[in-house]
Amino acid sequence: MSAKPTRTGEFDLIAKYFAPLAKGEPGALNLKDDAAFLRPRPGHDLVVTTDAIVAGVHFFENDSPDVIARKALRVNISDLAAKGATPRAYLLTAVFPRDVDDAWVKAFAAGLKLDQKRFAITLIGGDTTSTPGPLTVNIVAIGEVPHGKMLTRAGAKPGDDVWVTGTIGDAALGLKVLNDALQLSEQHRKAVVARFHVPEPKPQLGHRLIGLAHACLDVSDGLVADLGHIAAESNVSIRIQAHDVPLSAAAKAALDKGVGLVDLVTGGDDYELAFTAPNAARPRLKALSRDTAIPLTRIGEVGKGRGVMLLDKNGNPVPYGRPGYTHF
Ligand code: ADP
Ligand code: MG
Protein backbone atom coordinates (compact mmCIF):
# COMPACT_ATOMS: atom_id res chain seq x y z
CA MET A 1 0.00 0.00 0.00
CA SER A 2 3.04 2.27 -0.16
CA ALA A 3 2.59 3.03 -3.84
CA LYS A 4 1.32 6.53 -4.45
CA PRO A 5 -1.97 6.61 -6.32
CA THR A 6 -1.46 7.32 -10.00
CA ARG A 7 -2.22 10.91 -10.73
CA THR A 8 -1.93 12.27 -14.21
CA GLY A 9 -1.12 15.97 -14.57
CA GLU A 10 -3.90 18.47 -15.02
CA PHE A 11 -3.79 18.76 -18.81
CA ASP A 12 -3.49 15.02 -19.37
CA LEU A 13 -6.33 14.51 -16.96
CA ILE A 14 -8.50 16.83 -19.01
CA ALA A 15 -7.44 15.24 -22.30
CA LYS A 16 -7.88 11.70 -21.03
CA TYR A 17 -11.08 11.86 -19.03
CA PHE A 18 -12.93 15.05 -19.89
CA ALA A 19 -12.21 15.69 -23.59
CA PRO A 20 -14.07 12.50 -24.66
CA LEU A 21 -17.15 13.99 -23.02
CA ALA A 22 -16.91 17.07 -25.24
CA LYS A 23 -17.40 15.29 -28.55
CA GLY A 24 -20.63 16.24 -30.24
CA GLU A 25 -20.44 19.96 -29.49
CA PRO A 26 -18.08 21.57 -32.02
CA GLY A 27 -17.88 24.79 -29.98
CA ALA A 28 -16.16 22.83 -27.20
CA LEU A 29 -12.99 22.74 -29.38
CA ASN A 30 -12.06 19.44 -27.73
CA LEU A 31 -11.42 21.33 -24.46
CA LYS A 32 -8.24 22.77 -25.90
CA ASP A 33 -8.97 26.46 -26.00
CA ASP A 34 -9.54 29.32 -23.59
CA ALA A 35 -13.29 29.26 -24.06
CA ALA A 36 -16.10 27.50 -25.88
CA PHE A 37 -18.73 29.01 -28.12
CA LEU A 38 -22.35 28.07 -28.40
CA ARG A 39 -24.95 29.09 -30.92
CA PRO A 40 -28.54 28.63 -29.77
CA ARG A 41 -30.91 26.88 -32.13
CA PRO A 42 -32.82 29.41 -34.25
CA GLY A 43 -35.70 30.96 -32.32
CA HIS A 44 -34.33 29.99 -28.92
CA ASP A 45 -32.90 31.71 -25.87
CA LEU A 46 -30.09 30.20 -23.83
CA VAL A 47 -30.97 29.47 -20.20
CA VAL A 48 -28.01 29.42 -17.83
CA THR A 49 -27.77 28.10 -14.29
CA THR A 50 -25.12 26.98 -11.82
CA ASP A 51 -25.01 24.88 -8.69
CA ALA A 52 -22.09 23.58 -6.68
CA ILE A 53 -22.05 20.47 -4.54
CA VAL A 54 -19.61 20.13 -1.66
CA ALA A 55 -18.42 17.03 0.25
CA GLY A 56 -19.88 17.00 3.72
CA VAL A 57 -22.69 19.33 2.69
CA HIS A 58 -24.42 17.81 -0.36
CA PHE A 59 -22.88 14.36 -0.38
CA PHE A 60 -20.69 12.19 1.81
CA GLU A 61 -16.94 12.26 1.30
CA ASN A 62 -16.87 8.53 0.60
CA ASP A 63 -19.74 8.47 -1.88
CA SER A 64 -18.73 6.83 -5.11
CA PRO A 65 -17.35 9.18 -7.78
CA ASP A 66 -20.02 8.33 -10.36
CA VAL A 67 -22.76 9.18 -7.85
CA ILE A 68 -21.12 12.53 -7.06
CA ALA A 69 -20.78 13.30 -10.77
CA ARG A 70 -24.36 12.43 -11.54
CA LYS A 71 -25.73 14.42 -8.62
CA ALA A 72 -23.69 17.47 -9.66
CA LEU A 73 -25.02 17.30 -13.21
CA ARG A 74 -28.58 16.41 -12.27
CA VAL A 75 -29.17 19.22 -9.78
CA ASN A 76 -28.29 21.62 -12.58
CA ILE A 77 -30.46 19.85 -15.13
CA SER A 78 -33.27 20.14 -12.61
CA ASP A 79 -32.92 23.93 -12.69
CA LEU A 80 -33.08 23.86 -16.49
CA ALA A 81 -36.16 21.63 -16.35
CA ALA A 82 -37.85 24.09 -14.00
CA LYS A 83 -37.39 26.85 -16.54
CA GLY A 84 -38.82 24.77 -19.38
CA ALA A 85 -35.38 24.49 -20.95
CA THR A 86 -33.98 21.59 -22.94
CA PRO A 87 -30.46 20.70 -21.74
CA ARG A 88 -27.70 21.49 -24.22
CA ALA A 89 -24.22 21.92 -22.69
CA TYR A 90 -22.37 22.35 -19.41
CA LEU A 91 -19.13 23.60 -17.91
CA LEU A 92 -17.50 21.69 -15.09
CA THR A 93 -15.31 23.14 -12.36
CA ALA A 94 -13.68 20.24 -10.60
CA VAL A 95 -12.09 21.18 -7.28
CA PHE A 96 -10.34 18.03 -6.12
CA PRO A 97 -8.24 17.24 -3.03
CA ARG A 98 -4.75 16.03 -3.97
CA ASP A 99 -5.44 12.43 -2.99
CA VAL A 100 -8.00 12.02 -5.78
CA ASP A 101 -6.37 9.53 -8.15
CA ASP A 102 -6.87 8.50 -11.79
CA ALA A 103 -9.24 5.69 -10.97
CA TRP A 104 -11.44 8.14 -9.09
CA VAL A 105 -11.50 10.64 -11.98
CA LYS A 106 -12.16 7.86 -14.45
CA ALA A 107 -15.21 6.70 -12.51
CA PHE A 108 -16.32 10.30 -12.09
CA ALA A 109 -16.14 10.83 -15.87
CA ALA A 110 -18.02 7.57 -16.45
CA GLY A 111 -20.87 8.89 -14.28
CA LEU A 112 -20.97 12.07 -16.33
CA LYS A 113 -20.96 10.09 -19.57
CA LEU A 114 -23.93 8.04 -18.48
CA ASP A 115 -26.02 11.09 -17.68
CA GLN A 116 -24.86 13.08 -20.71
CA LYS A 117 -26.45 10.38 -22.78
CA ARG A 118 -29.55 10.19 -20.65
CA PHE A 119 -30.18 13.95 -20.75
CA ALA A 120 -28.64 14.81 -24.13
CA ILE A 121 -26.15 17.31 -22.72
CA THR A 122 -22.46 17.79 -23.60
CA LEU A 123 -19.44 19.03 -21.69
CA ILE A 124 -17.98 22.16 -23.31
CA GLY A 125 -15.41 23.41 -20.81
CA GLY A 126 -14.47 23.94 -17.24
CA ASP A 127 -11.65 24.29 -14.81
CA THR A 128 -9.66 21.82 -12.75
CA THR A 129 -7.96 22.79 -9.53
CA SER A 130 -6.70 21.19 -6.36
CA THR A 131 -7.81 22.15 -2.88
CA PRO A 132 -6.80 21.55 0.74
CA GLY A 133 -10.52 21.62 1.49
CA PRO A 134 -13.47 19.33 0.70
CA LEU A 135 -14.06 18.01 -2.80
CA THR A 136 -16.29 20.42 -4.66
CA VAL A 137 -17.95 20.14 -8.03
CA ASN A 138 -19.48 23.15 -9.69
CA ILE A 139 -21.42 22.92 -12.91
CA VAL A 140 -22.78 25.62 -15.15
CA ALA A 141 -25.57 24.16 -17.24
CA ILE A 142 -26.96 25.71 -20.38
CA GLY A 143 -30.28 24.90 -21.96
CA GLU A 144 -32.58 26.27 -24.64
CA VAL A 145 -36.13 27.59 -24.56
CA PRO A 146 -38.25 29.02 -27.34
CA HIS A 147 -37.55 32.74 -27.49
CA GLY A 148 -39.13 34.63 -24.59
CA LYS A 149 -40.78 31.57 -23.09
CA MET A 150 -38.61 30.69 -20.08
CA LEU A 151 -40.78 29.69 -17.14
CA THR A 152 -40.23 31.81 -14.04
CA ARG A 153 -41.26 31.91 -10.39
CA ALA A 154 -43.39 34.95 -11.07
CA GLY A 155 -46.74 34.67 -12.82
CA ALA A 156 -48.80 32.52 -10.44
CA LYS A 157 -52.36 33.87 -10.28
CA PRO A 158 -55.06 33.61 -7.62
CA GLY A 159 -57.28 30.67 -8.56
CA ASP A 160 -54.41 28.63 -10.05
CA ASP A 161 -53.95 25.01 -9.04
CA VAL A 162 -50.64 24.05 -7.43
CA TRP A 163 -49.04 20.90 -8.84
CA VAL A 164 -46.04 18.79 -8.01
CA THR A 165 -44.33 15.94 -9.88
CA GLY A 166 -43.35 12.57 -8.43
CA THR A 167 -43.18 12.15 -4.66
CA ILE A 168 -41.94 14.44 -1.90
CA GLY A 169 -39.67 13.75 1.07
CA ASP A 170 -37.80 10.68 -0.16
CA ALA A 171 -34.37 12.28 -0.40
CA ALA A 172 -34.73 13.80 3.07
CA LEU A 173 -35.53 10.29 4.32
CA GLY A 174 -32.53 8.95 2.42
CA LEU A 175 -30.34 11.37 4.33
CA LYS A 176 -31.90 10.30 7.64
CA VAL A 177 -31.24 6.66 6.79
CA LEU A 178 -27.60 7.39 5.85
CA ASN A 179 -27.19 9.26 9.13
CA ASP A 180 -28.62 6.25 11.01
CA ALA A 181 -31.50 8.40 12.21
CA LEU A 182 -34.15 6.15 10.66
CA GLN A 183 -34.56 2.40 10.11
CA LEU A 184 -36.56 1.22 7.11
CA SER A 185 -36.99 -2.11 5.35
CA GLU A 186 -34.20 -2.95 2.90
CA GLN A 187 -36.40 -2.15 -0.10
CA HIS A 188 -37.51 1.23 1.25
CA ARG A 189 -34.02 2.02 2.43
CA LYS A 190 -32.65 1.46 -1.05
CA ALA A 191 -35.37 3.56 -2.63
CA VAL A 192 -34.87 6.63 -0.44
CA VAL A 193 -31.06 6.47 -0.48
CA ALA A 194 -31.16 6.34 -4.28
CA ARG A 195 -33.33 9.45 -4.28
CA PHE A 196 -30.75 11.25 -2.11
CA HIS A 197 -27.78 10.12 -4.21
CA VAL A 198 -29.12 10.48 -7.72
CA PRO A 199 -32.10 12.80 -8.15
CA GLU A 200 -34.45 12.48 -11.14
CA PRO A 201 -34.71 15.84 -12.90
CA LYS A 202 -37.58 16.15 -15.33
CA PRO A 203 -36.66 18.22 -18.38
CA GLN A 204 -38.90 16.07 -20.58
CA LEU A 205 -41.85 17.39 -18.58
CA GLY A 206 -40.53 20.90 -17.91
CA HIS A 207 -40.35 21.97 -21.53
CA ARG A 208 -43.92 20.84 -22.09
CA LEU A 209 -45.13 23.08 -19.26
CA ILE A 210 -44.45 26.09 -21.46
CA GLY A 211 -47.86 27.50 -22.32
CA LEU A 212 -49.48 25.58 -19.45
CA ALA A 213 -47.76 26.64 -16.22
CA HIS A 214 -47.97 30.20 -14.92
CA ALA A 215 -45.01 29.77 -12.54
CA CYS A 216 -42.56 26.92 -12.01
CA LEU A 217 -39.50 25.93 -9.99
CA ASP A 218 -37.72 22.82 -8.88
CA VAL A 219 -38.07 21.68 -5.29
CA SER A 220 -34.56 21.60 -3.86
CA ASP A 221 -34.72 23.23 -0.42
CA GLY A 222 -38.08 21.84 0.71
CA LEU A 223 -41.56 21.95 -0.79
CA VAL A 224 -42.89 24.60 1.61
CA ALA A 225 -39.83 26.83 1.25
CA ASP A 226 -39.81 26.58 -2.52
CA LEU A 227 -43.52 27.24 -2.93
CA GLY A 228 -42.80 30.24 -0.71
CA HIS A 229 -40.48 31.50 -3.46
CA ILE A 230 -43.28 31.26 -6.03
CA ALA A 231 -45.65 33.03 -3.63
CA ALA A 232 -43.13 35.83 -3.01
CA GLU A 233 -42.15 36.35 -6.65
CA SER A 234 -45.76 36.19 -7.83
CA ASN A 235 -47.21 38.30 -4.99
CA VAL A 236 -49.76 35.63 -4.07
CA SER A 237 -50.48 33.20 -1.25
CA ILE A 238 -50.39 29.42 -1.58
CA ARG A 239 -52.42 26.91 0.40
CA ILE A 240 -51.15 23.35 0.43
CA GLN A 241 -53.44 20.47 1.42
CA ALA A 242 -50.95 18.44 3.47
CA HIS A 243 -52.81 15.15 2.93
CA ASP A 244 -52.66 15.59 -0.86
CA VAL A 245 -48.85 15.78 -1.00
CA PRO A 246 -47.76 12.68 -2.96
CA LEU A 247 -45.74 10.21 -0.90
CA SER A 248 -43.89 7.05 -1.87
CA ALA A 249 -44.50 3.73 -0.14
CA ALA A 250 -41.21 4.28 1.70
CA ALA A 251 -42.34 7.70 2.93
CA LYS A 252 -45.65 6.25 4.13
CA ALA A 253 -43.71 3.59 6.03
CA ALA A 254 -41.57 6.34 7.56
CA LEU A 255 -44.71 8.18 8.72
CA ASP A 256 -45.82 4.96 10.41
CA LYS A 257 -42.47 4.98 12.23
CA GLY A 258 -43.10 8.41 13.64
CA VAL A 259 -41.48 10.69 11.04
CA GLY A 260 -43.60 13.83 10.76
CA LEU A 261 -45.21 14.86 7.48
CA VAL A 262 -43.74 18.29 8.19
CA ASP A 263 -40.23 16.78 7.96
CA LEU A 264 -41.07 15.54 4.47
CA VAL A 265 -42.51 18.78 3.12
CA THR A 266 -39.69 20.90 4.58
CA GLY A 267 -36.82 18.47 3.87
CA GLY A 268 -34.69 19.19 0.82
CA ASP A 269 -33.22 17.50 -2.25
CA ASP A 270 -36.48 16.40 -3.89
CA TYR A 271 -35.66 17.83 -7.33
CA GLU A 272 -39.28 17.52 -8.33
CA LEU A 273 -41.03 20.30 -10.25
CA ALA A 274 -43.67 22.43 -8.54
CA PHE A 275 -45.81 24.74 -10.62
CA THR A 276 -49.08 26.59 -10.77
CA ALA A 277 -51.52 26.40 -13.67
CA PRO A 278 -55.05 27.58 -14.36
CA ASN A 279 -57.91 25.12 -13.71
CA ALA A 280 -58.50 24.98 -17.47
CA ALA A 281 -55.13 23.24 -17.89
CA ARG A 282 -56.21 20.16 -15.91
CA PRO A 283 -57.11 17.92 -18.87
CA ARG A 284 -53.91 18.79 -20.72
CA LEU A 285 -51.81 18.20 -17.61
CA LYS A 286 -53.45 14.83 -17.13
CA ALA A 287 -52.56 13.93 -20.71
CA LEU A 288 -49.02 15.20 -20.22
CA SER A 289 -48.61 13.06 -17.11
CA ARG A 290 -49.77 10.03 -19.10
CA ASP A 291 -47.45 10.83 -22.04
CA THR A 292 -44.36 11.30 -19.89
CA ALA A 293 -45.24 8.64 -17.29
CA ILE A 294 -44.47 11.26 -14.65
CA PRO A 295 -47.06 11.46 -11.86
CA LEU A 296 -48.60 14.90 -11.42
CA THR A 297 -50.52 15.67 -8.25
CA ARG A 298 -52.64 18.70 -7.46
CA ILE A 299 -51.71 19.70 -3.90
CA GLY A 300 -53.22 23.11 -3.38
CA GLU A 301 -54.28 26.44 -4.75
CA VAL A 302 -53.12 29.99 -5.20
CA GLY A 303 -54.92 32.85 -3.48
CA LYS A 304 -54.56 36.56 -2.88
CA GLY A 305 -52.24 37.72 -0.11
CA ARG A 306 -48.86 36.42 0.98
CA GLY A 307 -47.07 33.34 2.21
CA VAL A 308 -47.56 29.58 2.26
CA MET A 309 -50.09 27.81 4.43
CA LEU A 310 -50.04 24.09 5.07
CA LEU A 311 -53.54 22.81 5.91
CA ASP A 312 -54.69 19.56 7.51
CA LYS A 313 -57.77 17.54 6.50
CA ASN A 314 -60.03 19.87 8.52
CA GLY A 315 -58.61 22.98 6.93
CA ASN A 316 -56.60 23.93 10.01
CA PRO A 317 -53.08 25.32 9.59
CA VAL A 318 -50.25 22.88 10.33
CA PRO A 319 -47.36 24.69 12.03
CA TYR A 320 -44.08 24.00 10.26
CA GLY A 321 -41.36 26.19 11.78
CA ARG A 322 -38.46 26.18 9.34
CA PRO A 323 -39.91 25.82 5.80
CA GLY A 324 -36.77 24.30 4.29
CA TYR A 325 -33.01 24.01 4.22
CA THR A 326 -30.79 27.10 4.27
CA HIS A 327 -26.98 27.15 4.30
CA PHE A 328 -26.50 30.23 6.45
P1 ADP B 1 -7.19 28.59 -19.03
O2 ADP B 1 -5.90 28.50 -18.30
O3 ADP B 1 -7.09 29.22 -20.37
O4 ADP B 1 -8.29 29.13 -18.20
P5 ADP B 1 -7.46 25.84 -18.44
O6 ADP B 1 -6.04 25.44 -18.42
O7 ADP B 1 -8.14 26.09 -17.15
O8 ADP B 1 -7.62 27.09 -19.39
O9 ADP B 1 -8.30 24.77 -19.23
C10 ADP B 1 -7.87 24.30 -20.49
C11 ADP B 1 -9.04 23.75 -21.25
O12 ADP B 1 -9.55 22.62 -20.55
C13 ADP B 1 -10.19 24.72 -21.40
O14 ADP B 1 -10.79 24.49 -22.65
C15 ADP B 1 -11.14 24.32 -20.31
O16 ADP B 1 -12.48 24.64 -20.65
C17 ADP B 1 -10.92 22.82 -20.23
N18 ADP B 1 -11.15 22.27 -18.90
C19 ADP B 1 -10.39 22.42 -17.81
N20 ADP B 1 -10.90 21.74 -16.76
C21 ADP B 1 -12.02 21.14 -17.21
C22 ADP B 1 -13.00 20.32 -16.63
N23 ADP B 1 -12.98 19.96 -15.35
N24 ADP B 1 -14.00 19.90 -17.42
C25 ADP B 1 -14.07 20.28 -18.69
N26 ADP B 1 -13.19 21.03 -19.31
C27 ADP B 1 -12.16 21.48 -18.58
MG1 MG C 1 -6.70 30.76 -21.27
To the nearest 10 degrees (0 to 180), the angle between helices 170-178 and 186-197 is 110
Query: Closest Cα to atom 24, ligand 1: which residue?
Result: 126
pLDDT for res 1: 42
Query: Closest Cα to atom 8, ligand 1: which residue?
Result: 34
Residues of the chain with pLDDT under 50: 1-3
C-beta 309 within 6 A of ligand 1: no
Sign of CA dihedral 211, 212, 218, 222: positive
C-beta 245 within 6 A of ligand 1: no
pLDDT for res 44: 98
pLDDT for res 9: 80
**Cα–Cα distance, 271 to 172 (Å, whole number):** 11
**Cα–Cα distance, 328 to 321 (Å, whole number):** 16
Ligand 1, pocket-test mutation among 127, 138, 139, most atoms within 8 A of CB: 127
pLDDT for res 229: 98
**Cα–Cα distance, 152 to 176 (Å, whole number):** 32
pLDDT for res 327: 75
C-beta 126 within 6 A of ligand 1: yes
Could you give the C-alpha distances from 2 to 5, 6, 62, in angstroms and in order? 9, 12, 21
**Cα–Cα distance, 138 to 201 (Å, whole number):** 17
Phi then psi for 192, rounded to 5 degrees?
-75, -30
Cα-based angle 99, 198, 172 (whole degrees, multiple of 5): 105
C-beta 34 within 6 A of ligand 1: yes
C-beta 127 within 6 A of ligand 1: yes
Query: 0.85 exceeded by the pTM?
Result: yes
How many angstroms separate the alpha carbon of residue 126 from the centre of ligand 2? 11
Query: Closest Cα to atom 22, ligand 1: which residue?
Result: 126
How far is CA 161 from its chain centroid?
A: 22
pLDDT for res 5: 59
Residue 237: strand pairing partners: 303, 307
Q: How many helices (H) and strands (E) does the chain have?
A: 10, 10
To the nearest 10 degrees (0 to 180), the angle between helices 65-82 and 102-119 is 30
**Cα–Cα distance, 156 to 309 (Å, whole number):** 16
pLDDT for res 2: 42
